[in-house]
Amino acid sequence: MLKLLLSLTFLIASLGHAAEKPNIVVIMADDMGYGDVSCYGATALQTPHIDKLAAEGRRFTSGYCSASTCTPTRYSLLTGTYAFRQEGTGIAPPNSPAVIKPGSETLPSLLKKAGYATAVIGKWHLGLGGPEGPDWNGDLKPGPLEIGFDHCYLLPTTNDRVPQVYVEDHRVKNLDPSDPLWVGKKKPSEDHPTGITHRDTLKMDWSHGHNSTIHNGISRIGFYTGGHAARFRDEDLADEWVNRSNAWIEKHKDEPFFLFFSSHDLHVPRIPHERFQGKTRLGFRGDAIIQLDWCVGELMKTLDRLNLAENTLVIFCSDNGPVLDDGHADDAVEKIGRHRAGGPFRGGKYSVLEGGTRTPFITRWKGRIKPAVEDKAVVSTIDLVASVGALTETPLPQDAYLDSHDVMGALLGEDGGKGREHLIQQDNGRAGNYGYRKGDWKLQRHEKGTARNVVVEAKLANTKVPKHRLFNLAEDPGETRNLIEKHPDIAKKMIEELDAHIKAGRTRS
């Protein structure tokens, strides 16, 4: 009898574990630094909704994205593979073809195997279409729907690049066939207005590079014409994505779902809705943080209203670290004051210093994750694939997700849960600049002998450095004291390990 009871107990427990398929909502900020959130130390503004996530969940102090620019981080999030292993994963241009090829194994395709409905709403910036690039007036495929998403509602590139239209599934929304959309690299005509020729008409000036086609009083990277009925107003992006996300969640509330809410805040051009403008003393960059915090609150309200909070794993993260002047003159530098966007870390966007990839990282699952816990475990956005695979008991193919490690125990705060043992950080593309963290030690490798650094917490500059530098992050989180001569054996071992990980083509066993 006792043996039978034990067998039944084991069977019930096994069935319960196998059936554990919480909804998963990943909220990714854009260009948000470790110090941009009040629960991570910001005092110049308050982020009550993000803070509430942390109070109800787990706040990681060593949470990372895998690259210090958006396209490679997003590639790695979805594929579980370091972007430096794949050609064409640098910052995608407006007419980029699909970076992730049709049929690739991805986070959404894995979750579809587990019975999930899947959607991405917000910024994409991973290219659309075949080798020739997007057909803006036809079917925009391959795209998200060809790599595992059931639904997408996108800003196709990034909002400082053209075009300013929504893509819903395979089509540009509201596109009038009589006013076709054209996107190109060259000025379409001599009289085409640009940020250079019509600078006096801009409502937000450019500081460098962002001076081609003008839309909504802001000049962008690249050229486009037509599609006027399809064009959106920058100020309405956050509202549109929140409304679309809430509607999609409600539609799929009775089945497991995965939502990738891919915000554009705090990326340039920073044009938050009028109701957020002027709400902080940090200019539009601070106001965009407040707008993002509102988005988080609205999504959480929907989960509460639908009684889904106790069956939903929420992950809040960022695609890379902060940048102030990134091409548009929006007073981010002038109004920074004492605010430290990167917190205690140097570097930021484009940099392999800690500030480039160490960002806010919060997990919440009411009733499952112990609330109000600070966790020092090293976790990364690249690990979500292997982690949710383990949670849902969905096997990972051996030839995919090459660098994703199962850190679900750490994300949930389970007894014995561990973060990853080592992490490779990269800047943009495949330039050969890397950070390699293992325990408290951090190796920097600068292939060209220059490091992207933060000068007076305001502007990024290139600084000449040795190819390799070594730091102890526990003692020196700002990476200011190079210890490579003091600890040559540690440096030698880490250099060899980094080279081996790169050459091996994978780090997942």
CATH of domain 22-412: 3.40.720.10
Residue 457: per-residue pLDDT: 47
In the chain, what are the domain boundaries?
A: 22-412, 422-504
**CA-based angle 322:327:328, to the nearest 5?**
100
Residue 406: per-residue pLDDT: 98
Residue 465: per-residue pLDDT: 87
User: Mean pLDDT for each 10-residue chunk of the chain (509 residues)?
Assistant: 42 45 98 98 98 98 97 98 95 96 97 98 98 97 98 98 98 98 97 98 97 98 98 98 98 98 98 98 98 98 98 98 96 96 95 96 98 98 98 97 98 96 90 92 90 57 87 97 98 98 97
C-beta atoms surrounding 393 within 10 Å: 12
Residue 20: per-residue pLDDT: 82
Residue 450: per-residue pLDDT: 75
SS3 of 306-359: the string is CCCHHHEEEEEEECCCCCCCCCECCCCCCCCCCCCCCCCCCCCCCCCCHHHHEC
Residue 447: per-residue pLDDT: 87
CA distance linking residue 277 with residue 291, whole number of Å: 9
CA-based torsion, 50, 51, 56, 58: positive or negative: positive
CA distance linking residue 50 with residue 294, whole number of Å: 9
Query: Looking up tokens 């292939």, which residue turns up?
Result: 447
Residue 14: per-residue pLDDT: 38
Report pTM.
0.95
CA distance linking residue 469 with residue 482, whole number of Å: 6
To 10 degrees, what angle do helices 48-55 and 283-305 make?
50
Residue 454: per-residue pLDDT: 52
Q: How many CA atoms lie within 13 A of 31 on its CB side?
A: 22
Please check whether residue 63 is in contact with residue 384, taking contact to mean a CB–CB distance below 8 angstroms: no
Which CATH architecture fits 422-504?
Answer: 2-Layer Sandwich (3.30)
Report the DSSP beta bridge partners of residue 225.
182
Q: What is the four-CA torsion angle of 353, 443, 363, 258, rounded to 10 degrees?
A: 90
Residue 448: per-residue pLDDT: 78
Please check whether residue 59 is in contact with residue 34, taking contact to mean a CB–CB distance below 8 angstroms: no
Structure tokens at 344: 């205690």
| Beta pairing, strands 23-29 & 312-318 | parallel
CA 18 to chain centroid, in Å, comes to 29
